[in-house]
Amino acid sequence: MTTPHLNVRNLSAGYGRARVLFDIDLTVHPGTIACVMGRNGVGKTTLLNTIAGLITPTTGTITHTGTDITTLAPHQRTRRGIAYAPQGHDTFAPLTVAENLHVAHQATRRNRPDLIDAALERFPRLKPLLGRKAGLLSGGQAQQLAIARALVTDPDLLILDEPTEGIQPNIVAEIETAITDTAAQGITVLLVEQYLDVALRLADTITVIDAGRVIHTGPRTELTHRSAHALMAI
């Protein structure tokens, strides 16, 4: 067996006394697209925030390429190659598209302008918008910028929280292609995706969470549209 790219074991986390995640196990293998699904409020974002280091777990461990990263700060995880595009496509609104990409790239302390070129090749729609303030972008453009910002940090693991939420269908298709191409390039992807069709097209493995617990995990091929729908409706 190869070392998992990401290995979450027995993870519990919450907010103050409110426990949200209970003994979560999640294994993501190198070069795969792992999709986490579940209804609203079941703890998907809390899980990704904990993996990114924004929330401290109450129990459990997170390993990245075999190294325990459970206590690392978010920026240390970024430098290890973990990039995170949070839910709601946050960008630096007062900065231009170009500045957004440069600031994200500089934070990694690398000098790889080719990463910015590659991110723009992945999202050609951003090229004519380089001088525009991020706060003036449409939702779809802002989402593409949020993913591009993650890519310029040279990740080996890209974490995306609902990149297609509230986005018009033609842009959803572009984002799907960008995710597939990113994975084909060898970058592992951990994705929270609400739309069943998108998840079933993209994912190699699907993990379903309900009320903070994993209720299903396995290869995408184990699920039909109907069985996946049934899991989501529990």
Ligand X SMILES: Nc1ncnc2c1ncn2[C@@H]1O[C@H](COP(=O)(O)OP(=O)(O)OP(=O)(O)O)[C@@H](O)[C@H]1O
CB of 212 to ligand X, least distance (A): 7
Nearer to ligand X, 90 or 121 (CB): 90
> If binding is defined by CB under 6 A, does position 40 make contact with ligand X?
yes
d(CA 210, CA 87): 19
d(CA 40, CA 61): 25
4, interface contact from ligand X, Mg ion, none, CB < 5-8 Å by kind = none
> If binding is defined by CB under 6 A, does position 89 make contact with ligand X?
no
User: In terms of DSSP bridges, do strands 59-64 and 67-68 run parallel, antiparallel, or are they unpaired?
Assistant: antiparallel
> If binding is defined by CB under 6 A, does position 87 make contact with ligand X?
yes
Cα dihedral sign, 14-18-21-22: positive
Tokens standing for residue 232: 């989501």
Tokens standing for residue 72: 């690392």
17, interface contact from ligand X, Mg ion, none, CB < 5-8 Å by kind = none
CB of 87 to Mg ion, least distance (A): 5
d(CA 189, CA 31): 7
Q: Work out which of 15, 109, 170, 233 binds ligand X, going by CB under 6 A.
A: 15
> If binding is defined by CB under 6 A, does position 20 make contact with ligand X?
yes
Chain residues binding ligand X by CB under 6 A are: 15, 18, 20, 38, 40-46, 87
